[in-house]
Structure 1
Amino acid sequence: MTGYLTTHVLDTARGCPAEGMQIDLFLIEGETRTHLKTLKTNDDGRTDEQILPASDFQIGEYELVFHAGDYLDATGTPPESPRFLNIIPIRFGMSEAAHYHVPLLLSPFSYSTYRGS
């Protein structure tokens, strides 16, 4: 099996996919954090392509950075300064060549994630 990485974002406060959210992917090697890709979610809250396709997959530590504050602003969520949730980093490891799915469940005051399928 070849490994790859996907995600999706659900806006649990509005009960819908989080369309238009920017997501950055970083490779973490010790103290070095290397930016690999920037994508936006589509109308289904997913990216149009795999975040890390099989051709680029390698075992290691990664970080997904979800730009939740910009998304919340764009959806008309009442502003606060500063936002309780703005930038949400999720750091995780991929230890085998498999499909890793790292979703984000978001509301203005909480979030959760898990290893999905």
Structure 2
Amino acid sequence: MGLRGDFSRLESGQTIALQSFSVNANGRTDEPLLMGGSYRVGDYELLLHIDDYFRMKGARLPSPAFLSKVPIRVRITSADERLHLPVQFGPWSYTYYRGS
């Protein structure tokens, strides 16, 4: 099992949980997190369980870990566009960008 995370929609100051997910051996989710009618304009958050991932891999981390649960917030401005969000991370840093 790979990195675990939670995916939510942000509406009117509320966080609405949509699903939890795990990343597969290819570094992707098995299915898109949004598709069909659920793919709509709005604000979303991925909460990545970075500390759990490295503990599962047997990495030696400080206690508490430097990075624990990392939130990434994105805004979808058009339901006609598709969003791919590559994320790279280590025990001390992370980066992400809008892919094609």
Shorter-normalised TM-score: what interval? over 0.9
Question: SS at the partner of 1:101?
Answer: coil
* Unmatched 5+ stretches in structure 2: none
Q: Which runs of 5+ in 1 are unaligned?
A: 1-18
SS of the residue aligned with 1:108? coil
Asked if 1:20 corresponds to 2:8, the answer is no
Correspondence for 2:18 among 9, 29, 36: 36
Work out which structure has the larger RCO, using CA pairs closer than 8 Å and 6 or more positions apart in sequence.
1
Query: Any residues of structure 2 matched to 1:33-112 within 5 Å, and which?
Result: 33-97=15-79, 98-112=81-95
**Quick one: which amino acid aligns to residue 58 of structure 1?**
R
Identity across aligned pairs (percent)?
A: 36
Q: Provide the C-alpha distance between the structure 1 equivalents of 2:83 and 2:37, rounded to a whole number of angstroms.
A: 14
TM-score by length of 1: 0.80
Secondary structure at 1:102 match in 2: coil
The answer to whether the Cα contact below 8 Å between 2:61 and 2:91 also exists between their aligned partners in 1 is no
CA distance in 2, matches of 1:89, 1:54: 24
- Matched pairs, number: 99
Root-mean-square deviation (CA), in Å?
1.0
Q: CA deviation at 1:79?
A: 2.2
| CA apart distance, 1:20 | 1.4
Q: State the shift of 1:54 in Å.
A: 2.3
Paired with 2:23 and 2:34, the residues of 1 have a C-alpha distance of 14
Q: Report the TM-score, using the length of structure 2 for normalisation.
A: 0.93
